[in-house]
Amino acid sequence: MILLKNRIEREKIIVLSMIRMYCSSKHKSEEALCTGCASLWNYVKKRLDKCRFGQEKPVCKECIVHCYESAKREQIRLIMRWSGPRMVYRHPEYAIIHVMDKLTSPNK
C-alpha cells in the first residue's frame, strides 16, 4: 500500500507512473519504457536514493537543492506538466497523496 511507504518510495512510484504515462502516449512504448525514458528514470531513481534530506524531503518541485542536472530537470518538468493533469484521472490516489506530501512538506 502506497501510504505505508516512506516519502522517497512514494515519490518514486509517482514519478515512475508519470514517466510511463508520458512514454506510452508520446513515444508509443508498450510495456517497457523507451530507452530515453528508461535512462531518465534511472537517473531520477539514483537522485532520490541519494537525496540528502531523506525522509525529511520536500517534494522535488519545492526542494531548495536542485540536484538534477539542468537538461534532465527540463525533461522531467515537461513530463510532469503533461502527466500531472492526466494523473488525476488515471491514478487519483497518487494525485491525492502527492498533494498531501506537498502540504506536509518539511521545508515549509
Site residues, Zn ion (CB under 5 A): 23, 27, 34, 37
Closer residue to Zn ion (CB): 29 or 105: 29
Separation of CA 64 from chain center: 16
* Calpha distance 13→73 (Å, rounded): 18
Q: Which three cell numbers stand for residue 5?
A: 511507504
Q: Are 88 and 96 in contact (CB under 8 A)?
A: no
Closer residue to Zn ion (CB): 27 or 73: 27
Q: Are 27 and 37 in contact (CB under 8 A)?
A: yes
Closer residue to Zn ion (CB): 56 or 74: 74
Rounded to the nearest whole angstrom, what is the least distance from the CB of residue 99 to Zn ion in the complex? 26
Rounded to the nearest whole angstrom, what is the least distance from the CB of residue 19 to Zn ion in the complex? 7
Q: Are 87 and 94 in contact (CB under 8 A)?
A: yes
Closer residue to Zn ion (CB): 27 or 102: 27
Rounded to the nearest whole angstrom, what is the least distance from the CB of residue 14 to Zn ion in the complex? 17
Rounded to the nearest whole angstrom, what is the least distance from the CB of residue 64 to Zn ion in the complex? 29
